[in-house]
Amino acid sequence: MSDQAAFAKFEDGWEQDGVSKDGMPKFRPVLIIRLSKPPYLEVRREAGEDDIEHYSEPYKLYLKLKAGRDIDKVEGYPLALWSAITRAEFDQLIGHGIVTVEQLAKIGERKGAVAAKVPEPIMQLAQRAKRMIELQKSQGRYEAIINELTAERDQLNEQLRESHVALSAANALTNTLQMRLAGIGTMLPERAA
């Protein structure tokens, strides 16, 4: 065995917790630790308090990753829902505190020496995020135009209905007058020529 420290990773897991009334197994969530010494040794077990104390940095990373996946608490478009990244890229970005596409797009706006420090694959993702944000802005503009045109269409439909009612009333009045005139015309004596 080598003297190298084991690689530790915390993850969510499930443990069987009895059987329900319908005969199906019940499970409860547990915190799992995976200890590895490559190339052949790997142990996966439920984590205890001493594991959390001994492997505090991997536990902090686990908490960051868990918070990044909790999309209800994220302000903006969560990276967890963005299909343009792989799980490894997601883990790397979350580990650095980037949890939204908007935060990633801000990295794409960096120039010069600051941008040179960012790895090229992350910079490419940041450029994609920036383009997505720009597309969403134009989509919002189109949505506003569509809403405005829909309101205008509804207003014109109402005016058209009112015009139909007024035209029907005018036609009824015209028909009534024509019938009266026809009745008066038969009552008049004919003139001799």
Identify whether 145 is part of a domain.
yes
Identify whether 184 is part of a domain.
no
Indicate if 25 and 86 belong to the same structural domain: no
Indicate if 34 and 109 belong to the same structural domain: no
Domain that holds residue 87: 70-159
30 strand-pairing partners: 13
Identify whether 34 is part of a domain.
yes
Q: What is the pLDDT of residue 1?
A: 47
How many Å apart are CA 13 and CA 45, to the nearest integer? 9
Identify whether 187 is part of a domain.
no
- Number of domains within the chain: 2
Indicate if 117 and 80 belong to the same structural domain: yes
Most confident of 1-15, 27-41, 178-192: 27-41
Tens of pLDDT, residues 50-72: 999 999 999 999 998 888 888 78
Q: Do the beta carbons of residue 32 and residue 47 sit within 8 Å?
A: yes
Strands 7-19 and 41-46: unpaired
Identify whether 182 is part of a domain.
no
Tens of pLDDT, residues 129-188: 988 888 877 766 677 788 889 999 999 999 999 999 999 999 999 999 888 888 776 665
- Exposed/middle/buried for 73, CB within 10 Å: 0-12, 13-18, 19+? exposed
pTM summary value: 0.56
Identify whether 132 is part of a domain.
yes
Average pLDDT of span 83-95: 88
